[in-house]
Structure 1
Amino acid sequence: MFVTLHAWRVPGCAVPRALVRMAVDRRRLRAIPGVRFAKLLGTGTGDGFGPTDADPTRYAALLVWDDHAAAGGFDGSPVARAWQRIATGHVRIDLRPLASRGRWSGVAPFGEPRGTAEGTVLALTRARLRPRKAVTFWRAVPPVAAAVADTPGVLARFGIGEAPIGWQGTVSVWRNTADLVEFAYRHPEHRAALLRTPAEGWYAEDLFARFAVLEVIGDRRVVGWGDGGERGRA
């Protein structure tokens, strides 16, 4: 299994066209040969999950492929070409699943991988909130988001969303697995949120996955990572 995460930055004047692409490209994305699972996503700051935290100038796509060869055809697809026409920046992050727990739209898109990685890792969380629990969840987010921002091991982070409210998640890139685990299970703010989750019953569906970052192609600054660069190993 091979996974790619794409992100595009568009200028303000192209936001209306990007919103049209969000409406029409979801099915086209899933129809690309070799795609097993696909999500077209809006993005946000990562500091919260309300509409005010959305970033209307950045969009993302997460794709699970049959193999690396199938993923190589994405840039020539109608979906990719449409986004390239309106984007001022694009980055592709190639990923290998290491661990995954939970479901997304009723399926386990990354299977049940078990692996380790020596270098850079990416963590993805997503959840569909129970409407009656949304307010308490949103109140719990800012301390955790602030803690992530102040953690030395995090290289980049941003929010993702399938809908303006209630269908959100996060992407974070970490220097290594040890830094990610240290934050996830030992940082007091995040640990407190983990302990609250079963009692609060915030989620109707949720997923957490961890990936080895294999390669980064394009402008890393689109996702707030480093100084840019066209191509490189993580």
Structure 2
Amino acid sequence: MQTVTLSLYRFDPLRDRLWAFAQMGLSRWPLARLPGLRFWKLMGSGTGEGFTPIPNTAVWAILCCWSDPAAARAGLSAPVLGRWSDRATEFCTLTLDTVSARGRWSGAQPFAGAAAPTGPLAALTRATIRPRNLLRFWRRVPDISARVGEDPAVRLKIGVGEVPLLHQVTFSVWPDAQAMARFARNSGPHAEAIRAVRDGDWFAEELYARFRITDAEGRWQGRPIHEVLA
């Protein structure tokens, strides 16, 4: 069964932020050689909680799709990822099973599986924004981000991406499918943005996925990650 991991890293000193930026290129070759790693992305983040076009040089993310749990366990212990965790001020890793996924990412369909939607669930959306729609897209984001932050059900939210402005990923954790559905149904800016995207053909490529969280390790926002998600 495929296993997905999302690792978040925070770097405080400037020298470590510069190191992380350099790893956007230097970590690619050793990641590509890890056994069982079928798909991966190195990503930066935006300021605040990531939902802005202004880069945050402190927070970075690595998403990995492994062939099975054994490959994930071995890969997360590999030197290339060990260097990231050793250097980071704080880091955490979420282990995920795919509940559902539709769309493409860099021309691929990376997420496979149909796990039961039990326990805390994570939602991931990813899009390549058409350049002609950049201004309209980023005008919508602050309202949506504010609504997510105001929702008492959301456990964790972050915006990351491969290329600033153009390639965007949102990741959020919810206590259950009902809470996730209530936000999608009742949030005015979110619903309006979805309609605008469909009507205006804003995205050149998009993907939507839900995951069941099977494990969480490390610290984030100054607390053990399992407390953040509780």
* TM-score normalized with structure 1 length: 0.90
Aligned-residue Cα RMSD (Å) equals 2.0
**C-alpha contact (below 8 Å) 1:216/1:232 kept by paired residues:** no
Residue in structure 1 matched with residue 10 of structure 2 by the alignment = 9
User: Secondary structure at 1:154's aligned position in 2?
Assistant: coil
From the superposition, tell whether residues 167 and 185 of structure 1 become closer, same or farther in structure 2 (CA, over 3 Å): same
Helix, strand or coil: the match of 1:165?
coil
The match for 2:43 is 41
Instruction: Name the residue aligned to 1:228.
Output: 224
Name the counterpart of 2:68.
Answer: 67
User: How far is the alpha carbon of 1:160 from its aligned partner?
Assistant: 0.7
Q: Distance in 2 between matches of 1:212 and 1:220?
A: 19
Counterpart of 1:124 in 2: which secondary structure?
A: strand
TM, length-normalised to structure 2:
0.91
Q: Percent identity?
A: 34
Deviation at 1:81, TM superposition (A): 2.2
Which runs of structure 2 are paired with 1:74-153 in the superposition (5 Å)? 74-111=75-112, 113-153=113-153
**Does structure 1 retain, via aligned residues, the 8 Å contact 2:99–2:212?**
yes
**Whole-angstrom CA distance in 1 between matches of 2:224 and 2:25:** 29
CA distance in 2, matches of 1:67, 1:231: 27
* Other-structure match for 2:205: 205
Measured at CA, do residues 231 and 144 of structure 1 come closer, stay the same or move farther in structure 2, by a change above 3 Å? closer
For 1:60, what is the secondary structure of its paired residue?
A: strand
**Structure 1 residues 46, 199: CA separation in 2 closer, same or farther (over 3 Å shift)?**
farther
Output one character per residue of 1:200-225: Cα deviation in whole Å (capped at 9) or x when no partner.
11100011110001111111337xxx
Aligned in 2, Cα 1:27/1:206: closer, same or farther, shift over 3 Å? Answer: farther
Q: Does 1:185 align with 2:185?
A: yes
The change in CA–CA distance for 1:232 and 1:31 in structure 2 (over 3 A counts) is farther
User: Cα distance, 1:116 vs. partner?
Assistant: 3.1
CA distance in 1, matches of 2:84, 2:148: 30
Alpha-carbon shift at residue 78 of structure 1 (Å): 2.5
SS of corresponding position for 2:224: coil
Residues 139/231 of structure 1: CA separation in 2 closer, same or farther (3 Å cut) = closer
Find the residue that maps to 1:72 and give its secondary structure. Answer: helix
> Residue 56 of structure 2 aligns with which residue?
55
Note if contact 1:8-1:91 (Cα within 8 Å) is conserved in structure 2.
yes
- CA apart distance, 1:152: 1.1
Q: Tell me the alpha carbon deviations over residues 142-186 of structure 1, each in whole angstroms, 9 at most, x when there is no partner.
A: 111111010111011011110122111111111111111111133
The whole-number CA distance in structure 2 between the counterparts of 1:142 and 1:231 is: 27
CA shift, 1:233, in A, is: 9.1
Distance 1:220 1:70 in 2: 24
Tell me the distance in 2 between the aligned counterparts of 1:197 and 1:114: 27
The more displaced of 171-180 and 6-15 is: 6-15
Cα deviations by residue, 1:18-61 (Å, 9 ceiling, x for unpaired): 111112112322321110111111122346341x2x22111111
SS at match of 1:19: helix
Q: Say if 1:73 and 1:145 are closer, same or farther in 2 by CA, change over 3 A.
A: same
Aligned partners of 2:3 and 2:30: how far apart in 1? 19
